[in-house]
Amino acid sequence: MTTRVTTDQGVRFRNLESRRGLGWAVYRFIREWPLIPLAILVLFLVFAIFADVISGYDSTGNDPDPDRTASQLHDRLAPPMWYPEGSSAHLLGADALGRDIMTRIMHGTRISLMFVGIVLSAGAVAGTSLGLISGWYGGVVDEVIQRAIELLIALPFILVALVVVIVWSQSLQLIIILLVIFSWGGFARQVRAETLQLRNMDYVSLARVAGASTPRLLSRHVFPGVINTVMVLISLNVGGLIITESILSYLGVGIPPPTPAWGVMVNDGKNYLTDAPWISLFPALAITLTVMAFNFLGDWLRDRFDPRLRQLI
Amino acid sequence: MRRFFLRRVITSLLMVLLTTVFVFALSRAAGDPRYLYLNEYTTTEVWEQWGEAMGLNRPYYIQYLSWLGDALRFDFGDSQAQKRPALELILNRAPATIRLSAAAFVFALLVGVPLGVLSAVKRSSMGDYLGRGFALLGQSAPPFALGIALIYIFAVGLGWLPTGRQDHGIRSYILPAVTLGWYPAAGLLRLIRSSLLEVLDSEYVKMARAKGVRNFAIVWKHALRNALIAPLTYSSLLLAGFVTGALLVETVFSWPGLGQLGFQAVGHNDFALMVAVVVLTGAIFITANLVADLLYAYLDPRIRLS
């Protein structure tokens, strides 16, 4: 044995380690780093970016080529390839209009990720700025912003969305604006709490004494202190936002058809569950897998960069 | 305590008031309500008469106050699609939703509490992984996807359970209740797990262990009581969450409740009905939040001080 450790304890320790071997090392690595969720997300990201390259089918079913349209009608309710009558032309089968499920899921990934990206970046920017202002100035401004957040949290969002869609008819822009309005509150609340703490820190007071202006104090001295939290909150919010978007699309008030949103696809297939379950089940699986991966990643980021948030969420 | 109590009650009332302002503003933004009744026989005089009758020639704040006055007496006007008072429709449908929510609540408690305790007490055991898997699925799958998967497995595939609708008695409650209760059960499980872990680590539990109290008594009698404060508050929020959750589950299982009513109102552009549903559910939502806060402050005096 090459070990130089002479104590009983040390030797026992080394033996334990070596007995565990390579399998244990791989297991530890997987536990420590979120590899599986990352792999799932990378896969979906590839789908989103290269959807047109991977699949030649049209995702909306409005193919200008008449030959394609004819073959599309022939493929109505085609089963996935592992069914006896399935073929590799439609890996995951086709829906009631003959549109390829796999293609629509890939395009749906693109829609969902873009949607979440837009809503979250707008919500995070608005929430962070308002949270900074609210915590820094206090007083009436703070009171107004806090009450606004409480109101937004108290309203049943999905019902409000339904009413708003009756009033201004369904569109992508409307749903984005609505979700931004409803998503900034969480950021503002957390950023405000941290700003209150940072505001009284010695280094901030010193910067102020040195003559820094309020915008400079906020952007250079307070903001860097909250950016970690904001990043973690963003990652924790992705999953919930994908679910909310899919719920709205499922109810028919989210992303308007024929755009292949996941929620719309699940709804399309719900009357075919007996004969063609793949129409609903695969998009449902896609939503669940993506959200699960994001949730995993969010938890991991939180534990790693901002464990204090653990008590809150 | 009294000041805190009063403050929270007053802010909650203000919130309900703000909700009504918001909904009223939306209803006016939707356009002139007379258009809903317009047909080919409507003359200009009739149009004006309607305006007079509905008070549309008065300033907005007067219109709002009279609408609010009616709403306070639970008069939300008539549903345009069904030609009946909106409140009557809501009261007809409410029992189905309440029964479904109650069943989902029972499911959430029966699954969330034991699994949460199990996964806290026996960390890294099979039970812990089972519990965490259950929670992960509940928080990652949207309710409609869960509902459709459950229908596919238990109704279409195995044929054990009906796909919803109430005429199958108690068995028809199982799938909708599980779908509606899964997410809250997951939340409850996670909360109980984390707070119980914290409590099990505290000094008084160590004291009880040193004294020789049996493990069962420590967990279920000494630790769980203190660990239940946060979950108890959460369960009040759960009740509020059922309001929107039911909307989705009811459309999946064609359950004749409030959620489906609201959804149909959207389909028919039935504004009065929709407004009534939103105002009432908003009030329930805010009340549940209030109850949660007060309960929390009552059970845990540390909250009031900060």
Residue B151 and residue B96 in contact, taking contact as beta carbons nearer than 8 Å: no
In the chain, the amino acid numbered A66 is P
Structure confidence at residue B303 (pLDDT): 58
Residue A133 has pLDDT above 70, yes or no: yes
A158 is a domain residue: yes
CA angle (A306 as vertex; A300, A307 as ends), nearest 5: 75
pLDDT band at A120 (very low <50, low <70, confident <90, very high): very high
Instruction: Give chain A positions within 8 Å (CB) of B139.
Output: 239, 291, 295
CB-CB under 8 Å, A166 with B274: yes
How much is the pTM?
A: 0.81
CB-CB under 8 Å, B262 with A159: yes
Q: Would you give the DSSP letter of residue B33?
A: G
In the chain, the amino acid numbered B185 is A
CB-CB under 8 Å, A158 with B144: no
Neighbouring residues of B28: CB distance < 8 A, sequence distance ≥ 6: B60, B63
CB-CB under 8 Å, A291 with B278: no
Structure confidence at residue A308 (pLDDT): 66
For an interface test with B, the pick among A163, A246, A280, A285 (most B C-beta atoms closer than 10 Å) comes out as A163
Neighbouring residues of B155: CB distance < 8 A, sequence distance ≥ 6: B161, B162, B163, B175
pLDDT band at A119 (very low <50, low <70, confident <90, very high): very high
Find the chain A residues whose C-beta atoms sit closer than 8 A to any C-beta of B: 147, 150-151, 153-160, 162-168, 239, 243, 246-247, 250-251, 253, 263, 266-267, 270, 273-274, 277, 280-281, 284-285, 287-289, 291-292, 295, 310
Token pair listed for A60? 């909306």
Q: Which of A231-240, A284-293, B257-266 has the highest mean pLDDT?
A: A284-293
Contacts across the A-B interface (CB distance below 8 Å): 124
Q: How far apart (Å, rounded) are the C-alpha atoms in residues B140 and A236? A: 12
Residue B192 and residue B117 in contact, taking contact as beta carbons nearer than 8 Å: yes
Token pair listed for A143? 């009171």
Instruction: Considering only residues A50 and B56, tell me which one the structure prediction assigns the higher pLDDT.
Output: A50
Structure confidence at residue A143 (pLDDT): 86
A9 is a domain residue: no
CB-CB under 8 Å, B149 with A284: yes
Residue A229 and residue A309 in contact, taking contact as beta carbons nearer than 8 Å: yes
A161 is a domain residue: yes
What's the domain count of chain A?
Answer: 1
Q: How far is A155 from chain B, CA to nearest CA, in Å?
A: 6
Domain B86-305 sits in which CATH superfamily? MetI-like (1.10.3720.10)
Q: What are phi and psi of A78, to 5 degrees?
A: -60, 135
Which of B29, B275, B286 minimises the CB distance to A154? B286
CA angle (A192 as vertex; A191, A198 as ends), nearest 5: 85
CB-CB under 8 Å, B137 with A154: no
Within A50-150, strands assigned E span none
pLDDT tens digits, residue range B179-214?
888 888 888 888 888 888 888 888 888 888 888 888
- The residue segments making up the domain with residue A144 are 101-305
Instruction: Give chain A positions within 8 Å (CB) of B271.
Output: 166
CATH of the domain at A226: 1.10.3720.10
Structure confidence at residue A129 (pLDDT): 94
Question: Which chain A residue lies closest to B274 (C-alpha atoms)?
Answer: A163
A61 is a domain residue: no
A280 burial (CB, 10 Å; 0-12 / 13-18 / 19+) is buried
Helix (H) or strand (E) holding B93, with range, is helix B86-121
Q: How far apart (Å, rounded) are the C-alpha atoms in residues A81 and A84? A: 8
Token pair listed for A28? 């530890």
Confirm or reject contact between B180 and chain A (CB < 8 A): no
pLDDT tens digits, residue range B49-67?
777 776 677 777 888 888 7
Q: How far apart (Å, rounded) are the C-alpha atoms in residues A235 and A227? A: 13
pLDDT tens digits, residue range A11-37?
444 545 555 677 877 777 777 777 888
